[in-house]
Structure 1
Amino acid sequence: MIDDVYYNLVTKIENFFDGIMIVDKDCVIRYNRLFINSDINLNEKNSIGKTPVDIWPNLTEETSTCFRAVKYGETTTNQVQTLLHASGREISAVDNTFPIVENGEIIGAISTTKFIDALTFRNNIDLSNLTITHANDLYMPHDIIGTSKEIELLKFKIHKVAQTNTSILIYGETGTGKELVAQSIHSSSSRKNHLFISQNCAAIPNTLLESIFFGTTKGSYTGAESKAGIFELANGGTIFLDEINSMDLNMQAKLLKAIEEKKITRIGGSAPKKIDVRIIAAINEHPQSCINENRIRKDLFYRLSGVQIEVPPLRERKGDIPYLTAHFIHHYNSEMKKNIEGVSPEVSAFLQAYDWPGNVRELKNSIEGAFNFASSNLIEKADFPRFYPLEGTSAISSGAEKADWFGFSSLNEGLEAFEKAFISKRGKQATSLANLAEDLKISRQTLNYKLNKYHLKLGTLGKF
């Protein structure tokens, strides 16, 4: 089905990108093609029937944009990725991935790639006339749902700071929508016709960040090619640096120098290049705790914190929950071809009482889950499988709404706790970082990402 329905789509847009990959609902590659000359062997013959994780061994299901698209319906826009090919070759690319939806069901995903080796980039691709239901346009302030005073203040701040070029620090809990705010600032600014590049600093080993930021010069090290970094690519636009507090302090110093001097020098190069880029950085905790724990340099913090924007957690703006619920119901009605009119009074009371530790993202996922079980025109309590342990008890008493059977507020939280404990325990017996990666059966790049994600220090994992 994928091959027939979307082949014309591929042939229409192949001239705008360096490569296109299409996967089915199981994330098995059904089409994969490069449109540029390359020594990377990625043709259909050797990739059909495999998954992106098979092709790029440093990816996992959670870091693969294709897997996230088919599992969660997630759209990825202008994300810079460093990919490790099975041949050992490292490749930096700008990725755009979209779920493919038919009759309300995700039947696959399409991923377009532009390699950073190629210096010509498009800002976006207009798929509005095609069958994909997820628009790739960047968010605007009106996409921020809510009428609470907290949201009105947030939109006011976005409008004001969009008129300037000052660097910005956004902080807020996981799931509050920090990238939505960053995109809204860019979309409302004079930079809106230039590139918006999002980079999660925790997703890339610190040893690679410098080349991703500033680019490389051919011959600067073994295998190095002339590549533009994201500062060059986003010239005139905006760079969003998420989880900046996970970045190595030495790399933070180099970032600060680039921001202050508005110049960058490629690795191995000697000629500095002027850059005009607005930096929007984000952290998922209070800035002061990052400073106190020496996870963000004070001088970088002072440079970025001239404008600080806090994205409020959902529990502090519960008046917005009915609006968000209605918005997500409308969204999933369209996507799943259903006609849900709202939620029952019992569910409405529960949604108001629950603390939502996963914030708007958790609410959205909960509504989506309930849609799969709803059998009437109202979402009932029974349509929320995760709340079954509360049967016979009040969902709003004794803090019960904050935890499920195992004491975690979500499956993700439980999985992350297990993963962190598992790595820590295995690390105590490992003799080296390479040995630990081998024992865990993951790549060193993936291990580095997880060490940064969970703030695990090598010294706590044994003698390395």
Structure 2
Amino acid sequence: MRNGVNIHLKDWASQFEWILSMIDVGVHMVDHEGVTVYYNETMANIDGLDRAQVLGLNVFELFPSLTSETSTLHLVLQTGERIADKLQTYVNMQGKQITSINSTYPLYEGDVMVGAVEIAKDISNVMSMYDQILDLNKQLTVSKQRNKSSVGTADYHFGDMIGQDPAFLKAVSIAKKAARSPSPVLIYGSTGTGKELVAQSIHNASSRRNQPFIAQNCAAVPKELMEALLFGTNRGAFTGSIDRQGIFEQANGGTLFFDELNNLDLSLQAKLLRVLQDGKIRRIGGMTEQKVDVRIIAAMNIPPQEALDKGILRSDLFFRLNVVHIELPSLVERLSDIPLLVDHCIERCNELFGTHVRGIRDAALQRLMRFKWPGSIRELMHAIESAFNIMEPGYDLLEEHHLPDFLFEPQPEVVAPLARLKPALHPISDIGLPSMLDQFERDVILSVFEQCAGNISQTAQALGLKRQALQYKLNKHGITK
């Protein structure tokens, strides 16, 4: 009794059943003979069945396509051992193909196994997307092979990279040199700085320009499918699997671009490292390895040191990829490039909208120059496109009132007038331009850091950097309180 209320086990059982009916994963429970004793609504939706059809039926009656070797519930009942994160494709009673990730556990009463429970997450839509990605990549590869005059599947070139900022020009210079070699490249830059544009430009300037360029965002595919996407599958690798190439095979001879590398599962990072070292892959379910000739370009939107410190990036993979390191400045670090970028955006929007806008008013440009641009160049391009959408007929210049509302929200004040900071004038021949740029960056950061009395958050805000990015640069330049 608690607070005068008698609590009975059966009352809790009804509460647990209600909880299981509300969660967004499927739950299928069977007794020791494989007969269904519980089946929640989510599992019914996954399988396309009615709960009333399922209760009291054996697993093999429900899913005729399963066998004693492929049914995870049956295997757990036979072995008493759990099966975790099993990818399974099957056909239900209505003939619908389902792909799910299942974890199956034995149920015990004391020392006696009384049944099993399976927890399933439906990924049929994701699997369909995975198939479409591989099919589209294959079509691009076949199309390229048929058209020998093709310039590959990358759209951007170095001529599309616009700016005069010294740090930006340094990054472009390194990228152009990297195009001459087959070495791996690691690009770091915040969201919207143009990391894939750099990767495509390197590919198109390299000897691989007529071979495939395939980009894969490591955060876009569940880890359970990523391995199959990377390396392909052999028939029988898992229930419903077929012989299919992965993107390593599809990119053979060309370039693979891994965006948001820090989101790649650590176990797959180890396998990626092995491919980088050996140049060989093995399909899931395959017995033999095959050589692949693929150049790897990877990108991250957080500082590599931060990813290493957090344990989300393997140090051995980092050192293997970081042969060529390119760091892209954010837009707030290259505000002087905004006029050039705006002119480019206007030209692009004129083509898109069929308009003849000549430029932008000074007041509107100054409004753009004062913004912090957390989304960097991509956000600036979207702002210009937004302005084109609301421009009234007859205007041939972008006015301040055409700009999106978020540009008029209050912005934190910059502590130091960065535009007035000048680099120490040393002869370039003495130290070289790259070293001069590094020294200038250090001088600017140190100046603001001292004005902020060593407060990292205030310094990051003043410089328009994320705190983690500033911490990385402080470590890089050896700046401490």
Taking structure 1 as the reference length, the TM-score comes to 0.58
Question: How far apart, CA to CA, are the structure 2 residues paired with 1:88 and 1:169?
Answer: 29
- Contact 2:154/2:200 (CA < 8 Å) preserved in 1? no
Q: Deviations over 1:351-371 (max 9, x none)?
A: 122121111001000000111
Question: How far apart, CA to CA, are the structure 1 residues paired with 2:328 and 2:338?
Answer: 15
Question: How far apart, CA to CA, are the structure 2 residues paired with 1:124 and 1:348?
Answer: 46
Q: 1:135-174 to 2 correspondence within 5 Å? A: 138-174=155-191
Question: How far apart, CA to CA, are the structure 2 residues paired with 1:298 and 1:178?
Answer: 21
Structure 1 letter corresponding to 2:317: L
Tell me the residue number matched to 1:18.
none
Q: Could you tell me how far 1:373 is from its partner in structure 2? A: 2.0
Q: Could you tell me how far 1:120 is from its partner in structure 2? A: 6.1
Does residue 382 of structure 1 match 2:421?
Answer: no
Q: Could you tell me how far 1:281 is from its partner in structure 2? A: 0.6
- Contact 1:350/1:396 (CA < 8 Å) preserved in 2? no
Q: Given the alignment, which residue of 180, 203, 209 partners 1:186?
A: 203
Does residue 292 of structure 1 match 2:313?
Answer: no
Question: How far apart, CA to CA, are the structure 2 residues paired with 1:119 and 1:377?
Answer: 40
Structure 1 letter corresponding to 2:397: L
Tell me the residue number matched to 1:92.
131
Q: 1:93-132 to 2 correspondence within 5 Å? A: 93-94=132-133, 114=136, 121-123=142-144
Question: How far apart, CA to CA, are the structure 1 residues paired with 2:391 and 2:224?
Answer: 48
Q: Could you tell me how far 1:322 is from its partner in structure 2? A: 0.5
Alignment CA distance shift 1:288-1:120 (3 Å): closer
Question: How far apart, CA to CA, are the structure 2 residues paired with 1:295 and 1:192?
Answer: 32
- Contact 2:234/2:285 (CA < 8 Å) preserved in 1? yes
Q: 1:156-235 to 2 correspondence within 5 Å? A: 156-235=173-252
Tell me the residue number matched to 1:248.
265
Alignment CA distance shift 1:384-1:57 (3 Å): farther
Q: Could you tell me how far 1:237 is from its partner in structure 2? A: 0.4
Does residue 357 of structure 1 match 2:396?
Answer: no
- Contact 1:125/1:136 (CA < 8 Å) preserved in 2? no
Identify the structure with the greater helix proportion.
2
- Contact 1:56/1:85 (CA < 8 Å) preserved in 2? yes
Question: How far apart, CA to CA, are the structure 2 residues paired with 1:258 and 1:337?
Answer: 47
Structure 2 letter corresponding to 1:114: L
- Contact 1:373/1:383 (CA < 8 Å) preserved in 2? yes
Does residue 258 of structure 1 match 2:275?
Answer: yes
Structure 1 letter corresponding to 2:227: E
Q: Given the alignment, which residue of 319, 343, 358 partners 1:341?
A: 358
* Secondary structure in 1 matching 2:257: strand
Which structure 1 residue ranges, 5 or more long, are not aligned?
Answer: 1-54, 59-82, 96-112, 127-134, 400-464
- Contact 1:172/1:312 (CA < 8 Å) preserved in 2? yes
Q: Given the alignment, which residue of 330, 342, 356 partners 1:313?
A: 330
Question: How far apart, CA to CA, are the structure 2 residues paired with 1:347 and 1:204?
Answer: 40
Tell me the residue number matched to 2:300.
283
Q: Deviations over 1:175-222 (max 9, x none)?
A: 000000000000000011110000001000111111111111111211
Alignment CA distance shift 1:385-1:158 (3 Å): closer
Q: State how many pairs are aligned.
A: 292
* Secondary structure in 1 matching 2:132: strand
Question: How far apart, CA to CA, are the structure 2 residues paired with 1:366 and 1:119?
Answer: 32
- Contact 1:119/1:233 (CA < 8 Å) preserved in 2? no
Question: How far apart, CA to CA, are the structure 2 residues paired with 1:348 and 1:251?
Answer: 46
Tell me the residue number matched to 2:423.
none
Alignment CA distance shift 1:91-1:206 (3 Å): closer
- Contact 2:219/2:260 (CA < 8 Å) preserved in 1? yes
* Secondary structure in 1 matching 2:326: strand
Question: How far apart, CA to CA, are the structure 1 residues paired with 2:295 and 2:127?
Answer: 34
- Contact 2:154/2:204 (CA < 8 Å) preserved in 1? no
Question: How far apart, CA to CA, are the structure 2 residues paired with 1:228 and 1:156?
Answer: 35
- Contact 1:114/1:121 (CA < 8 Å) preserved in 2? no
Q: Deviations over 1:216-249 (max 9, x none)?
A: 1111211110111111111110000011101111
Alignment CA distance shift 1:282-1:90 (3 Å): closer
Structure 1 letter corresponding to 2:136: K
Taking structure 2 as the reference length, the TM-score comes to 0.56
Which structure 2 residue ranges, 5 or more long, are not aligned?
Answer: 1-96, 101-121, 415-481
User: What is the root-mean-square deviation in Å for CA atoms of aligned residues?
Assistant: 3.1
Alignment CA distance shift 1:388-1:248 (3 Å): closer
Q: Could you tell me how far 1:94 is from its partner in structure 2? A: 3.6
* Secondary structure in 2 matching 1:146: coil
- Contact 1:170/1:309 (CA < 8 Å) preserved in 2? yes
Q: Deviations over 1:273-328 (max 9, x none)?
A: 00110000111011000000001001111110111101111111112111110011
- Contact 1:218/1:225 (CA < 8 Å) preserved in 2? yes
- Contact 2:218/2:263 (CA < 8 Å) preserved in 1? yes
Question: How far apart, CA to CA, are the structure 2 residues paired with 1:327 and 1:119?
Answer: 29
Question: How far apart, CA to CA, are the structure 2 residues paired with 1:383 and 1:367?
Answer: 9
Q: Deviations over 1:370-411 (max 9, x none)?
A: 112223222111112314755xxxx67747xxxxxxxxxxxx
Structure 1 letter corresponding to 2:399: E
Q: Could you tell me how far 1:349 is from its partner in structure 2? A: 1.2
Question: How far apart, CA to CA, are the structure 2 residues paired with 1:229 and 1:235?
Answer: 10
Structure 1 letter corresponding to 2:144: N
Does residue 302 of structure 1 match 2:319?
Answer: yes
Question: How far apart, CA to CA, are the structure 2 residues paired with 1:184 and 1:88?
Answer: 31
Question: Identity rate of aligned residues, in percent?
Answer: 41
